[in-house]
Structure formats: structure tokens, C-alpha cells
Copies of this chain bind each other. A is one copy, B any other.
Amino acid sequence: MSADTSLSQTDRTRLHRLRERGRSDRAELYAVLDAGLICHLGVLIDGSPVVLPTGYGRSGDTLYLHGSSANRSLLAADSRDVCVTVTHLDGMVCARAIFHHSMNYRSAVVFGTARLVADDEERLTALRAVTEQLVPGRWEHSRPPSRKELAATAVLALPLDEASVKVRTGPAKDEPEDYQLDFWAGVIPVAMSFGLPEADAAVRPGLDVPDHISALASRGS
């Protein structure tokens, strides 16, 4: 079972610095991924790295990204090495010294060979995961994709085999002699927050904001 619950290190995921920020438990990888809304996909196009924001979802040990089937970057990633990064900024860490300023964060960096999903059943699983990642409960409260819509959607799968997770928490660490300086130091918490839902002007009369939408307001990150 240990291969299932821990993240084995590779040359790409081994931390060379600040090892105390590293996390090696698979559950911590899932926690960082499951708490996110968007990821940044890195893919090589014409020899240069391209970094694009996109939605994603997780189903078991597989990360799914989706986009239009006309999206060149998604298509370019098929059978290629990619990197998908999810970052939560949790706080700005103000130290007495400029040099010791930092950020509190949780990040997951996933490496692997992407696979364009051809099977319709897996594509539906993926779209459900991506939809539910953004708005839990949404899948049951929308019209499912038609065959034509499914064909117009590109889905990329990435196995969660190789990843590094980093977490920084807590206050700043200043030089011993700097604690006597008259500079304020501390952490300013940062979070993603959700505002009040703005109903579409064409929502049918009598349709209240459903529970799965109002539940978001209390979610945050």
C-alpha cells in the first residue's frame, strides 16, 4: 500500500532547497488539487513553453483538463510531457527585512505524459469531474452534453504518478538582530472568496438560487 499513499520522488519532483516545505503524502496532493479552481498547464509548442490557465478535475488517480476541440494547446499536449500546477496563495508574509518577505501557499506540480481522451464514457467522467470541481452539485442541475457537444470538447488526462507538493505556513523568519528594528511584521491572509450569485436575466420566473449555488458563498479557499 505504500506505493499508493506516498509520492515517490523523481529527479523532477525532488526538492533541492527548503525541504521542510515538501509534502510526500498522496492525500496532501489530493487536498491541494481538490481545493483549487483553475490550474496552469505547461506544454511545449513549436519548441517554446506555453502556460495556460484552465479548469480541471480529478477522478481517482487521474487529473482531467478540458477545453474546446479547436484549442491548439490542448491538442498539442497529446502524448507529450506536460506540467500542471495548482497554486493556492494563503498569505503575504511581511518580514522586517525585504529579503525575508515570503508568501504562504500550497502548491502541487504534476508532471507526466498527457493523453487525449477518445472514449466517450471517460470523457463524460472527465467533464463531470471538471464541472464538479468548480461548482459542486452542478452536474445534476444542468443539461448533460449532447453527442455533438461532447465531440466539440477536448479532454486531456494526466496520471497522478509524479508530483511535488509544497506548503509554507506561519510567520516570517527574520535575522536575529533585526527583531529590534521598529518595522511591523506579520502575515496578511489571502483567500479566494465567492460573491453573491448574480442570476442570469433570462432565468425563468420562480427559479430561486439553488442550494448548490448558495453553498459556494461559504466555501472560500
Contacts and interface: CB of A to CB of B under 8 A. Distances in A.
A203 B181 CA distance: 9
B131 A48 contact: no
Mostly helix, strand, loop or mixed at chain A's interface?
mixed
A12 to B, nearest CB: 7
A143 B197 contact: no
A144 to B, nearest CB: 6
A207 B180 CA distance: 12
B143 A17 contact: no
Contacts of A155: none
A183 B51 contact: no
Given A17-B71, A40-B51, A81-B47, A191 B184 contact: no
The interface centre, meaning the residue of A52, A184, A203 with most chain B CB atoms within 10 A of its CB, is: A184
The 8 closest A-B pairs by CB, nearest first: A189-B195, A42-B49, A42-B51, A99-B149, A53-B87, A185-B200, A40-B40, A51-B85
24 contacts: A11-B46, A12-B45, A38-B103, A41-B51, A42-B83, A48-B81, A48-B83, A53-B107, A92-B135, A92-B216, A94-B135, A94-B142, A96-B142, A98-B138, A98-B144, A143-B183, A172-B200, A184-B199, A184-B200, A184-B208, A184-B213, A186-B198, A190-B194, A191-B193
Given A48-B81, A97-B149, A187-B198, 20 more contacts: A38-B87, A38-B103, A42-B49, A51-B85, A53-B87, A92-B134, A97-B142, A98-B131, A99-B146, A99-B152, A101-B131, A143-B178, A171-B198, A172-B200, A182-B204, A184-B203, A185-B203, A187-B200, A188-B213, A188-B216
